[in-house]
Amino acid sequence: MAFSLYQATAANFTQTLTAVAGFLEKGAKHFAEHGIDPAAVVETRVATDMLPFRFQVVSTVHHSRGALEGVRKGLFEPPPDLGPLDYRQLQALVADARDAVAATTPAQIDELLGRDVVFRLGSRELPFVAEEFLMSFSLPNFHFHASTAYGILRAKGVPIGKRDYLGRLRMKA
């Protein structure tokens, strides 16, 4: 059987979005048990010149569900400003993205192969074909932002580990 675009993208997005939802839930429990205000965590940064936790979570959604939507439209742009989302709203955003990506079928993703897609950033446009955009741009960005969100939670004392980031492995039946 040939390896498909669906397996390389949507299946990975679903696995990691499920893991992100899981470690966000562990974070919520940890904060409640230890009297930590999740609002402070939402604005936490790894470094002063990096965007906060809130942006990292929004970007996991944007580089998964948003990337697939962008490929379908032929245009991908930076995420819209969703405003000051709180921790629970970020959890809901991830859950919605996970459900949307999980609902896609292999045929819906594999039919995107070869489609033209443009990444537009202001007046700059970068042309791609769907598979190169997803594999060389969105997947690396997706994992960067998911792992940054994970790292911020770890730094805040949330008891999560590598297995929480990996999520459910897709092993041989």
Are 106 and 6 in contact by the 8 Å Cβ rule? The answer is yes
Task: Scan for tokens 């405003």, then name that residue.
Answer: 83
Predicted local distance difference test score (pLDDT) of residue 141: 97
For 54-101, how does the pLDDT look when each residue is reduced to its tens digit (9 = 90+)? 999 999 999 999 999 999 999 999 988 888 899 999 999 999 999 999
Predicted local distance difference test score (pLDDT) of residue 159: 95
Predicted local distance difference test score (pLDDT) of residue 80: 83
Please tell me whether residue 75 adopts helix, strand or coil conformation.
strand
Predicted local distance difference test score (pLDDT) of residue 167: 86
User: Which residues partner with 125 through β-bridges?
Assistant: 120
**Residue 152, number of CB atoms within 10 A of its CB:** 21
Q: What tokens appear for 100 in the block?
A: 């949307």
Q: How confident is the prediction along the chain (173 residues), in pLDDT tens digits per residue?
A: 577 999 999 999 999 999 999 999 999 999 999 999 999 899 999 999 999 999 999 999 999 999 999 999 999 999 888 888 999 999 999 999 999 999 999 999 999 999 999 999 999 999 999 999 999 999 999 999 999 999 999 999 999 999 989 888 888 88
Task: Scan for tokens 């805040």, then name that residue.
Answer: 156
Predicted local distance difference test score (pLDDT) of residue 115: 96
